[in-house]
């Protein structure tokens, strides 16, 4: 049985298969058709953090595929408080065909997977956001018709999104440059994992402190919020530290003329990205958001092929 806790769980070939399946499922949906590939299947969705895209995209994905999604709120579950993470995994495994969880601590995702007898999907944790990255690489592939050799610049905090982009880029042959303020770099173990994968694909992995250097000649300019959920107490200090890392038109102009701009949302407009850029002609932000739906449909079909 397979889980999806990080893109490191998948081979390059498996990621490419999911992207192709996502494209096919999106094409069918746009033509007005949905295949009931998961008829009779049920997905449990555990949320410790609030969500717009994760909840709606997974619910609609299961609906498109003929299945059912059950939303379990933070108050209902209180994962690891009301009862143990292990017991939640064991009980839900008797009721549903797969579990998606959006949590604070990555350790909770790992514990769910260790005790579940159905596939577990990481809908977001403090270390990784693999569903987002899967949709991101689908969007890049969709725009450029290729992944290998594409130059991706990530500007901002070395957070869970940066971690997933690093691993995915390395596995897919995408050259990635991550520009952060000193002290906000991605985790060393994630960087080491990405560099190990990059050796097989020929991708380059750069850690920089200059956003201009990262963006120069890029095909994709990507940013995220400077303070994630759970870091609210640091928000004011982070605004000062990250101010030079704003993705604005001056920074984007250093990228290639046909470069696209990406943001996983929600965006703090006027902080990490300007209105001019996010609403501008180079923005792929809303295509990126839509592609969460189709990439996750592909993921669910692939994982639930193992379901009882």
In this prediction, residue 308 carries a pLDDT of 59
- Indicate whether 2 belongs to any domain: no
In this prediction, residue 79 carries a pLDDT of 81
Q: List the catalytic residue out of 26, 106, 108, 129.
A: 129
- Indicate whether 1 belongs to any domain: no
Same domain? 112 vs 189: no
Backbone angles phi, psi at 156, to 5 degrees: 145, -140
Q: List the catalytic residue out of 64, 264, 282, 288.
A: 264
Q: Which domain holds residue 190?
A: 132-288
Same domain? 67 vs 168: no
| pLDDT tens track for 128-152 | 999 999 999 999 999 999 999 999 9
| pLDDT tens track for 109-123 | 999 999 999 999 999
Q: Is 102 annotated in the active site?
A: yes
Same domain? 200 vs 165: yes
Q: Is 292 annotated in the active site?
A: yes
- Indicate whether 166 belongs to any domain: yes
Q: What is the Cα–Cα distance from 159 to 15, expressed in whole angstroms?
A: 22
Q: Looking at the 3D structure of the chain, how many domains does it have?
A: 2
Q: Is 132 annotated in the active site?
A: yes
Q: List the catalytic residue out of 108, 224, 238, 246.
A: 224
pTM: 0.97
Q: Is 157 annotated in the active site?
A: no
Percent of the chain with pLDDT over 70: 99
Q: Is 264 annotated in the active site?
A: yes
Same domain? 203 vs 57: no
In this prediction, residue 89 carries a pLDDT of 96
């Amino acid at each position: 049985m397979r889980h999806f806790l990080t893109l490191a769980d998948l081979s390059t070939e498996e990621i490419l298969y999911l992207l192709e399946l996502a494209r096919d499922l999106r094409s069918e949906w746009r033509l007005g058709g949905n295949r009931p590939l998961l008829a009779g299947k049920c997905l449990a969705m555990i949320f410790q953090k609030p969500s717009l895209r994760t909840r709606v995209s997974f619910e609609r994905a299961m609906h498109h595929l003929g299945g059912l999604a059950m939303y379990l709120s933070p108050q209902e579950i209180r994962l690891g408080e009301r009862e143990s993470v292990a017991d939640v995994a064991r009980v839900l495994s008797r009721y549903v065909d797969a579990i998606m969880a959006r949590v604070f601590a990555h350790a909770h995702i790992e514990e769910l997977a260790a005790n579940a007898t159905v596939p577990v999907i990481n809908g977001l944790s403090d270390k990784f956001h693999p569903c987002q990255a899967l949709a991101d690489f689908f969007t890049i592939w969709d725009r450029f018709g290729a992944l290998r050799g594409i130059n991706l610049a990530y500007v901002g905090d070395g957070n869970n999104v940066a971690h997933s982009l690093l691993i995915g880029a390395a596995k897919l042959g995408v050259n990635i440059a991550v520009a952060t303020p000193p002290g906000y770099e991605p985790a060393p173990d994630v960087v080491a994992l990405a560099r190990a994968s990059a050796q097989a694909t020929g991708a380059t992995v750069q850690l920089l402190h200059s956003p201009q250097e990262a963006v120069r000649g890029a095909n994709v300019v990507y940013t995220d919020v400077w303070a994630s959920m759970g870091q609210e107490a640091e928000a004011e200090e982070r605004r000062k530290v990250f101010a030079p890392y704003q993705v604005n038109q001056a920074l984007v102009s250093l990228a290639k003329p046909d470069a696209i701009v990406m943001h996983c949302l929600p965006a703090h407009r006027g902080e990490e990205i300007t209105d001019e850029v996010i609403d501008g002609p180079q923005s792929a932000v809303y295509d990126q958001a839509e592609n969460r739906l189709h990439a996750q449909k592909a993921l669910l079909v692939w994982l639930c092929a193992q379901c009882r």
